[in-house]
Amino acid sequence: MIRAVERIFQSKIGNDDLVIASTGLPARVVYHVHDSQNNFYVQGSMGASLGIGIGLALNRPERKVHVIAGDADILMSLGTVVLMNKLNLPNLHLHILDNNACVSTGGQATCSDAVDFESMAKNVSVYKIPKDKPDVGRIPLKDSEIAQRFHDAINSPPTLVCSESTRKFFPDIKDVFIVKHAPTKEFVEKFAGSRKSSRIIAVGGGAVMDTAKILGGEVEAYPTTAAGSVTSDHAVYWDGPKKCSFQCKAPKVFKIVPEYLMDLPDEVIEYTLYDTVAHALESLWSKNKTEESEKYATAALAKISEITKKSQTLKIDEKTPENLVKLIEAGNLAGKALGITHSNVMHALSYPLTEKYKVPHGKALGWLLPRIAPYYSLRTPEVKGLDKLNVNIERARIDINYVIEEALKYPKIHDTTKEINKGMLLKILL
């Protein structure tokens, strides 16, 4: 059942579509596979799911409605399928998970084998599935919560927060914030909490996620870079050159969609890779390291090594959906590690490079990595190709003295297992 529901979500259900899941196991599996404010989990009312779907599709002709129901649920009020056929609503689709049994109540046989559901109405799909009971827990939401958030989802139009390049994935959303840079203090003053009651769909990298969280609604995050921001309960914004933290809710849903990643420019993929490795390594060098942070950081580096096997330098082997998903997963793990330890020396040095010299964040880290990593080399796992990494940041136009002095003002720079001082940094970076 889990695999069938995964398939339905991957191939049939758009990000803004509404989903009604029938009582019992179908609802629990839908929750397990893809929870969203857009899902309504029917609780206890067997046979009611398609009726609810018809009502919704009639009243919200602009939204696509999917009913995911067990065969027993549909058989219980088969007449509703006849009504569906008569109304012929183009925005309604019924997906029947047919195991010829009512597994939720003990596996009693149904007579679904005597019915051809697909011939009864248009837009009916039947998925023949095994009778086994999937191991999924109960839905940890109160009935009132399920109702309230679904009510919000159907009544308030979502806000899309995205980059220029990811706008196209949600052409129907009208309320759009295009993010061009990380949020500033002025943005926070003007917009913080302004979308408190809406659903926010965030598609993009760290700046997109931070912007979405500051807006204040229920954020559904579709990260396209390895932003640690996807799981954290704060957002980064800038007050001039000063990095500040804004306390907010972590995104409600977090999902990696390979399709959104395929358009990423090579440069973004490259910088994401450097940023991820930097996050993992800094967390391993950190004085604040815990067993948990070490576990995340090591797992992140293991995923990185899976996708950088072929190249002599630190580089992703091929831009396949599988590799890109692994990169984002690694970024997420490294982000979790850094959430425990916080960043230190490389990020401290990267900030003035980005602020004053406009070197992109990941690029600055790519330049720093082969310089700083050897200083800690005995204490961290080796990252293949790091020593051969050669990122050009137009060194001649950068005053390294200034960069070091600014970096030393960053309080967390000293949180590492080896001492940091100006002399040592000058020796490494000059």
Summarize as ranges the residues that interact with Fe ion (CB under 5 A).
Answer: 275
- Cα–chain center distance at 48: 32
What are the respective helix, strand and coil percentages of the chain, to the nearest 5?
50, 15, 35
For residues 73 and 275, which CB has a smaller minimum distance to Fe ion in the complex? Answer: 275
| Best CA proximity match to 94, nearest among 108, 73, 111, 112 | 73
Smallest distance from the beta carbon of 155 to Fe ion, in angstroms?
A: 38
Phi and psi at residue 116, to the nearest 5°: -105, 90
Tokens of 306: 């899976």
What does the alpha-carbon distance between residue 213 and residue 232 come to, in Å, rounded to a whole number?
10
| Best CA proximity match to 24, nearest among 47, 44, 50, 1 | 44
What does the alpha-carbon distance between residue 182 and residue 398 come to, in Å, rounded to a whole number?
22
For residues 53 and 205, which CB has a smaller minimum distance to Fe ion in the complex? Answer: 205
The H or E element spanning position 223 is: strand 218-223
For residues 243 and 255, which CB has a smaller minimum distance to Fe ion in the complex? Answer: 243
Smallest distance from the beta carbon of 275 to Fe ion, in angstroms?
A: 4
- Give all strands of the β-sheet with 92-98 in edge-to-edge order: 39-41, 18-21, 65-70, 92-98, 124-128
For residues 217 and 362, which CB has a smaller minimum distance to Fe ion in the complex? Answer: 362
Smallest distance from the beta carbon of 226 to Fe ion, in angstroms?
A: 9
Smallest distance from the beta carbon of 4 to Fe ion, in angstroms?
A: 39
Strand 92-98 relative to strand 101-102: parallel, antiparallel, unpaired? Answer: unpaired
For residues 154 and 348, which CB has a smaller minimum distance to Fe ion in the complex? Answer: 348
Tokens of 2: 């889990």
SS3 41: strand
Is 206 buried (19+), middle (13-18) or exposed (0-12) by CB count in 10 A?
buried
For residues 35 and 329, which CB has a smaller minimum distance to Fe ion in the complex? Answer: 329
Smallest distance from the beta carbon of 271 to Fe ion, in angstroms?
A: 10
Smallest distance from the beta carbon of 369 to Fe ion, in angstroms?
A: 12
Smallest distance from the beta carbon of 228 to Fe ion, in angstroms?
A: 7
**Count of Cβ atoms closer than 10 Å to residue 163 Cβ:** 18
Smallest distance from the beta carbon of 166 to Fe ion, in angstroms?
A: 20
